[in-house]
Amino acid sequence: MEYAGLNFADIYRRRGTYHIDKRTPYIDGYEGLGVVIDMGAQVSKHKLGEKVFFVDAPFANAELVAVPEDHAITVPDGLDDQLVASVGLQGLTADFLAHDLGRNHPNDNAFIHGISGGVGQILSQILTADGVNVYGVTSTADKKKIALNQGAKDVFLRKEPWLQAYVGEFDTVYDGVGVTLDQSIELLKHRGNLVFFGMAGGNPPKVDLVTLLSQSKSILTGDLWDYLTDYWERVARSKRLFKYFEAGKIKISQPTIFPLKDGQLAHKFLETGNSAGKILLQT
């Protein structure tokens, strides 16, 4: 292993939000990049010395990781290792949100909570490249500058009156915060779609279905793992994602890198909300 990616899902597992085997010691992590140093006798899709990344193999916060053959994806030629390690899971998540759950058309208006986070940065630029007008909210002036430089039309700070400014304006709202679900519904136009994909800020409130019904608003959600069904699906989605990078349509912030031994510090940093982009653990 060279890099393991840190995601909010790792925090959810640590907190017990996800149902996992709680026997200790528990090794967290599902995402990483490294070099193949050994293989099973029946492996045919990869070779020794090949550099691969993966987004769904358990116990990834380690120096050596056993990855199922169909879960390992060859790192494309010409792309930087840190870039690929940074955009594996977050990039495939953004691609999934934009192209599977989102129902966007050119010139639609979309709003992204946490637009300057790891998923938010990539999602914003995918949508922009696809002709969607992107707006969002973030926590600091520096993060706002990042989002605007990446093509967003307008970005509010969380402390500003973003809800009042944008009520009823959006065809699609992307919410990975959770506690903001009610506000996200208010942001939607009639017949708009709320894409719910996480609980970074806490569990979402209960939803009034009658309100959704009366305004023809929909909540769309799903699990990426139900879409990464086999090796060829992983490869096809990765190629679609990396085309945006190869065409220069997506630029991301440099990752924040912690040594693997400082995983606790990395978790705390992610929980502060101060990260702009990916956090990697280097082995």
- Return the amino acid letter for 30: Y
Answer yes or no: do 116 and 83 share one domain. Answer: no
Report pLDDT for 17. 74
| Three-state SS at 190 | strand
What is the rounded CA–CA span in Å between residue 110 and residue 169?
9
b/e per residue 55-89 (b: at least 16 CB within 10 A): bbbbbbbbeebebeebbbbebbeeeeebbbbbbbb
Q: Which of 13, 146, 3, 127 is nearest to 63 (CA)?
A: 3
CATH number of the domain within which 26 lies: 3.90.180.10
Answer yes or no: do 9 and 79 share one domain. Answer: yes
Q: Is residue 97 part of a domain?
A: no
CATH number of the domain within which 170 lies: 3.40.50.720
Answer yes or no: do 239 and 272 share one domain. Answer: yes
Answer yes or no: do 205 and 120 share one domain. Answer: yes
Q: Is residue 99 part of a domain?
A: no
pLDDT in tens, the chain (283 residues): 999 999 888 988 888 777 666 677 889 999 999 999 999 999 999 999 999 999 999 999 999 999 999 999 999 998 999 999 999 999 999 999 999 999 899 999 999 999 998 899 999 999 999 999 999 999 999 999 999 999 999 999 999 999 999 999 999 999 999 999 999 999 999 999 999 998 888 889 999 999 999 999 999 999 999 999 999 999 999 999 999 999 999 998 889 999 999 999 999 999 887 777 799 999 9
Range of the domain at 269: 3-89+227-282
Q: Which of 173, 195, 221 is the last residue of a domain?
A: 221
Classify residue 191 as left (phi > 0), alpha (psi -120 to 50) or beta. Answer: left
For 211, the token pair is 């309100």
pTM above 0.85, yes or no: yes
What is the rounded CA–CA span in Å between residue 125 and residue 145?
14
Answer yes or no: do 147 and 239 share one domain. Answer: no
Give the count of domains, the chain: 2
Q: Is residue 240 part of a domain?
A: yes
